[in-house]
């Protein structure tokens, strides 16, 4: 539920620096594993199971959006799709276009819900509604699972066999979704029994919650529903509408429906929020039977959601917390926390943010020792713990076991020199000694003073030297201070700046709060001119991969990346567009590779290696 949305420019924490339930829980499973993923950015395997869960939830939400009296059982899946559309395109940074998607256009014209007409042979009792809901699952499922397969196919860290997964488990998807809808139908019946509940009268007048369910109508739609009676007992058709929970709009962009604290340091995404009883009840959908160790995480997850609602709704308490295990067709209800519990939770979560999230980029690995937790399993439906395995079992399936000293299976990473096919020997850099910060001497060729809206000076300038000009721009607020009177023609030293890749694939220098600009008549020892790029050779093991594509103001962009662990440090490789080497298609997680002539760049405080046409990669094994 998108409470307190913050645009990227206004977000004081930014992506990767917010606490979420999963980040906090995973820290407790092993702090070292957490460190690898949060600090080094190593990504887990993209298994079919992960996207399968999304497909089941998407299917459930597509049916929840519809009405048995408006959508026939065999209507096409897209008939009530939300008209999310591109609203504005802004220049988030000088080199990047940011598209703002309007997730909930206000114009009635764009929405199909108000245009639908009642049809004659609509389901008239709850059994017919159940049959209708199950038939709608069969219509929506192929679309949802195909979208999931495409997302899995395109993931750089894809693992597993899709067809085998679908035969073994994926084919249960429609059953899972039908189980969830049966539980929703229990809600509709309860609402009918309560004569529509306390919101019946306001609903009949067309009054909707501030953030209404994405039911094919705009958020601020005030026209009473076509099924709304002016008086009398609530009907089944009315209760289907009134009981509809808020859910994640399948057409909304990823991560746009997250609830966020106004201060920005926590975010989480509810699956369903039921409000027909007049108070909020939060439900989380699980595409499983609740026997895995994750069942232990769910009570904490739900308590965290109770806190998030409380903290972002003027201390309003939720009236229910439930996990719906779609694989076991069962709902698990949790005891509600007290105000005191929630206050304590807020302190703990905020402390976690201070200790572990706000320190992103400067976390010390020695504070994150290998400390795997035992591995429990549960009876179906998130029931009692039936077995607890030794912590070493966690290491046996850990993706980082070959790099972690706690696993007992750590592999050596060689940094010895390497001979290429021409017999040329190459030495490798010690990454612990590579400083991505450089001091650059040159003449200002373009000058744009600026101001970042959240404070800072944020200058941007062209700097000329060595026969070339390089653009220098600010990261967030840029340097804390700059000399007065800078102008085109000023000779300057730009101190502790770093090279960074643009989306276009070019290189520019970045200024952050550690950088300075100094007026200087001549260069000092160690200064470089803008044209001299710091190049490094790397030998290491591929820990995870990344790829992406999109559009910017110059057209489309493509990116390939790899996180590399070396004997003496870690680095993220990144290549854009035509600089992406052909061999990237052959590189897999776990491969030992060498990279020659990468450019030492940075993203914030993190060392990166950018590839260009002079860089080379070879797979050793």
Q: Which stretch binds ligand SF4 (CB under 6 A): 29-37, 93-101, 158-166, 482-490?
A: 29-37
Of the pair 210, 397, the CB lying nearest ligand SF4 is at 397
Q: H or E stretch including 309?
A: helix 298-312
Of the pair 538, 543, the CB lying nearest ligand SF4 is at 543
Least distance from ligand SF4 to the Cβ atom of residue 39, Å: 12
Distances (CA, A) of 273 to 37, 100, 325, 485, 536: 31, 26, 16, 57, 52
Least distance from ligand SF4 to the Cβ atom of residue 18, Å: 23
Of the pair 41, 372, the CB lying nearest ligand SF4 is at 372
Task: Say if residue 448 is exposed, middle or buried (CB neighbours under 10 Å; 0-12, 13-18, 19+).
Answer: exposed
Given a contact cutoff of 8 angstroms between Cβ atoms, the answer to whether 214 and 272 are in contact is no
Least distance from ligand SF4 to the Cβ atom of residue 33, Å: 4
Q: Which stretch binds ligand SF4 (CB under 6 A): 30-38, 246-254, 313-321, 507-515?
A: 30-38
Least distance from ligand SF4 to the Cβ atom of residue 159, Å: 17
Residue 38 in 3-state DSSP? Answer: helix
Per DSSP, what are the bridge partners of residue 308? none
Binders of ligand SF4 among residues 359 to 378 (CB under 6 A) are: 370, 372
Note whether 543 binds ligand SF4 by CB under 6 A. Answer: no
Q: Which stretch binds ligand SF4 (CB under 6 A): 25-33, 170-178, 233-241, 295-303?
A: 25-33
**What would the x/- binding string for ligand SF4 be over residues 101 to 140, using CB under 6 A?**
----------------------------------------
Least distance from ligand SF4 to the Cβ atom of residue 371, Å: 7
> Tokens for 352?
């976690």
Distances (CA, A) of 217 to 104, 208, 212: 9, 11, 9
Of the pair 402, 577, the CB lying nearest ligand SF4 is at 402
Least distance from ligand SF4 to the Cβ atom of residue 590, Å: 14
Closest CA to 259 of 314, 309, 213, 303: 309
# of chain residues touching ligand SF4 (CB under 6 A): 13
Per DSSP, what are the bridge partners of residue 51? none
Least distance from ligand SF4 to the Cβ atom of residue 410, Å: 9
Of the pair 327, 370, the CB lying nearest ligand SF4 is at 370
Of the pair 392, 549, the CB lying nearest ligand SF4 is at 392
Locate all alpha helices (DSSP H) within 154-228, ordered by sequence.
Answer: 162-168, 173-193, 200-204
Residue 585: which region, alpha, beta or left (left: phi > 0; alpha: psi -120 to 50)? alpha
Least distance from ligand SF4 to the Cβ atom of residue 391, Å: 8
Closest CA to 310 of 331, 334, 284, 336: 336
**What would the x/- binding string for ligand SF4 be over residues 406 to 445, using CB under 6 A?**
xx--------------------------------------
Bridge-based pairing of strands 468-474 and 507-511 is parallel
Q: Which of residues 30, 56, 80, 283 is near ligand SF4 by CB under 6 A?
A: 30
User: What distance in Å separates the CA atoms of residue 330 and residue 218, rounded to the nearest whole number?
Assistant: 33
Q: Which of residues 33, 288, 508, 608 is near ligand SF4 by CB under 6 A?
A: 33
- Which residues does 162 contact at the CB level (< 8 Å), separation at least 6? 48, 149, 152, 153
48-62 exposure pattern, b = at least 16 Cβ within 10 A, e = fewer: bebbbbbbbbbbbbb
Of the pair 64, 401, the CB lying nearest ligand SF4 is at 401
| Three-class DSSP labels, 95-134 | CEEEEEEECCCCCHHHCCHHHCCCCCCCCCCHHHHHHHHH
Of the pair 398, 472, the CB lying nearest ligand SF4 is at 398
**What would the x/- binding string for ligand SF4 be over residues 149 to 168, using CB under 6 A?**
--------------------
Least distance from ligand SF4 to the Cβ atom of residue 563, Å: 15
**What would the x/- binding string for ligand SF4 be over residues 205 to 224, using CB under 6 A?**
--------------------
Of the pair 216, 406, the CB lying nearest ligand SF4 is at 406
**What would the x/- binding string for ligand SF4 be over residues 477 to 496, using CB under 6 A?**
--------------------
Q: Rg of the chain's alpha carbons, rounded to an integer?
A: 28
User: For the chain, how are helix, strand and coil distributed in percent, rounded to 5?
Assistant: 30, 25, 45
Of the pair 207, 411, the CB lying nearest ligand SF4 is at 411
Of the pair 42, 498, the CB lying nearest ligand SF4 is at 42
**What would the x/- binding string for ligand SF4 be over residues 387 to 406, using CB under 6 A?**
-------xx--x-xx--x-x
Given a contact cutoff of 8 angstroms between Cβ atoms, the answer to whether 328 and 290 are in contact is yes
> Tokens for 371?
């400390």
> Tokens for 52?
């399968």
Given a contact cutoff of 8 angstroms between Cβ atoms, the answer to whether 484 and 439 are in contact is no
- Give the residues lining the site for ligand SF4 (CB under 6 A): 30, 32-33, 370, 372, 394-395, 398, 400-401, 404, 406-407
């Amino acid at each position: 539920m998108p409470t307190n949305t913050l645009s990227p420019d206004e977000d004081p924490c930014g992506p990767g620096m917010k606490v979420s339930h999963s980040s906090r829980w995973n820290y407790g499973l092993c702090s070292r594993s957490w460190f690898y993923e949060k600090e080094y950015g190593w990504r887990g395997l993209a298994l079919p199971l992960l996207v399968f869960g999304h497909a089941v939830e998407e299917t459930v939400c597509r049916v929840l959006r519809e009405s048995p009296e408006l959508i026939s059982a065999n209507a096409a899946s897209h008939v009530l799709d939300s008209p999310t559309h591109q609203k504005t395109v802004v220049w988030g940074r000088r080199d990047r276009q940011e598209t703002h998607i309007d997730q909930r256009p206000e114009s009635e014209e764009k929405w199909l819900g108000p245009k639908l007409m009642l049809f004659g042979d609509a389901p008239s009792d709850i059994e017919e509604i159940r049959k209708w809901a199950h038939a709608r699952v069969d219509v929506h499922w192929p679309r949802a699972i195909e979208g999931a397969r495409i997302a899995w196919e395109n993931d750089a860290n894809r693992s597993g066999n899709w067809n085998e997964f679908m035969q073994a488990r994926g084919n249960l998807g429609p059953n899972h979704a039908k189980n969830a809808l049966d539980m929703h139908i229990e809600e509709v019946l309860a609402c009918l029994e309560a004569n529509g509940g306390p919101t019946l009268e306001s609903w009949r007048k067309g009054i909707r919650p501030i953030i209404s369910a994405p039911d094919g109508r705009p958020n601020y739609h005030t026209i009473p529903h076509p099924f709304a009676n002016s008086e009398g007992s609530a009907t089944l058709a009315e209760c289907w509408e009134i009981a509809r929970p808020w859910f994640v709009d399948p057409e909304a962009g990823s991560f746009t429906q997250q609830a966020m604290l106004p201060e920005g340091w926590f975010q989480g995404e509810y699956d369903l929020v039921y409000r027909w009883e007049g108070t909020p009840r939060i439900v989380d959908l699980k595409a499983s039977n609740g026997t895995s160790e994750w069942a232990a995480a769910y009570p904490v997850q739900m308590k965290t959601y109770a806190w998030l609602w409380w903290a972002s709704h003027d201390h309003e308490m939720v009236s229910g917390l439930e996990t719906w295990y779609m694989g076991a067709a069962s709902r698990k209800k949790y005891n509600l926390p007290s105000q005191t519990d929630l206050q304590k939770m807020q302190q703990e979560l905020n402390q976690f943010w201070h200790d572990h999230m706000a320190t992103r980029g400067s976390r010390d690995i020695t504070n994150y020792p290998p400390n795997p937790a035992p591995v429990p399993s549960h009876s179906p439906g998130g029931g009692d713990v039936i077995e607890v395995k030794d912590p070493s079992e966690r290491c046996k399936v850990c993706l980082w076991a070959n790099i972690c000293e706690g696993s007992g299976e750590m592999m050596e990473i060689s940094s010895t020199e390497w001979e290429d096919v021409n017999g040329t020997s190459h030495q490798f850099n010690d990454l612990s000694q590579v400083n991505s910060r450089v001091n650059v001497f040159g003449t200002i060729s373009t000058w744009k003073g600026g101001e970042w809206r959240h404070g800072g000076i944020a200058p941007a300038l062209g700097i000329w030297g060595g026969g070339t000009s390089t653009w220098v721009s600010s990261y967030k607020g840029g340097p804390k201070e700059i000399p007065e009177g800078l102008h085109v023609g000023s000779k300057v030293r730009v101190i502790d700046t770093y090279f960074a890749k643009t989306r276009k694939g070019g290189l520019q220098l970045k200024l952050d709060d550690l950088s300075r600009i100094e007026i200087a008549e001549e260069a000092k020892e160690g200064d470089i001119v803008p044209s001299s790029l710091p190049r490094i050779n790397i030998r290491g093991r591929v820990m995870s991969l990344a790829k992406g594509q999109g559009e910017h103001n110059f057209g489309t962009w493509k990116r390939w990346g790899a996180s590399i662990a070396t004997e003496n440090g870690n680095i993220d490789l990144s290549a854009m567009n035509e600089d992406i080497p052909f061999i990237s298609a052959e590189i897999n997680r776990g491969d030992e590779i060498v990279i020659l002539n990468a450019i030492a760049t940075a993203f914030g405080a993190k060392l990166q290696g950018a590839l260009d046409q002079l860089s080379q990669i070879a797979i050793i094994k």
